[in-house]
Amino acid sequence: MTGLWVLAATLVAAVAVGVLLKARNGRVREAKPAARELPGPVAAALDPASAVTLVQISTTFCAPCRHAKAVLGPLAERTEGLHHVELDVTNSPEVAQSLSVLRTPTTIALTPDGRELLRVGGVPKGPELLAALEPHLTTRTS
C-alpha cells in the first residue's frame, strides 16, 4: 500500500511540474535593468536600421528552436522596424552565459544601441510578443 501512495505522490508532483513549465514557456518578460556589454556576435547582429532586433539564442539540436524561428521570421518580415537574427551558441556557450541564457530557445529584444527591452524563454507567442513590442515599433498591415 505504501508503494501506491509513493506512486500517486510522484504522479501529482510530475503533473504539477509539467503544468508550471508549460505556463512559463513562451512568456514575455520585461528586461531587468542591467548595464552589461553585449558579446561580439550579438552586437554584430544588431540592425541599426530597425527599431528592434530579435536575437534568438539557439543550439544545433534544439527542436523548439526551429519552431521559434518559424514564428519570429515571418513576424519580422511583416512588421516594420523589426529584425530577426538567430544565433547558434552550440560552439560558443560563453555568449549564452554572458547574456544569462539558461535555455534554448531564448529570444531577446534589443534596441539598435544594445539595450534589452524584453526576453522570451521558449517558443514565443507571436501576438503577445508583438503587443509587448508595440510601443517600440510601427506595424504594417498585412
Give the tens place of pLDDT for each residue, 48-64. 999 999 999 999 999 99
The model scores a pTM over 0.75: yes
CB within 8 A of 140, min separation 6: which ones? 78, 79, 80
- What percent of the chain shows pLDDT beyond 70? 87
Amino acid in the structure at residue 102: L
Each residue of 24-38: pLDDT tens digit? 666 776 776 666 788
Number of CB atoms found within 10 A of residue 46's CB? 18
Give the CATH class of 29-138. alpha beta
The pLDDT confidence band at residue 83, using thresholds 50, 70 and 90, is very high
Q: Taking 50 as the threshold, does the pLDDT of residue 21 lie above it?
A: yes
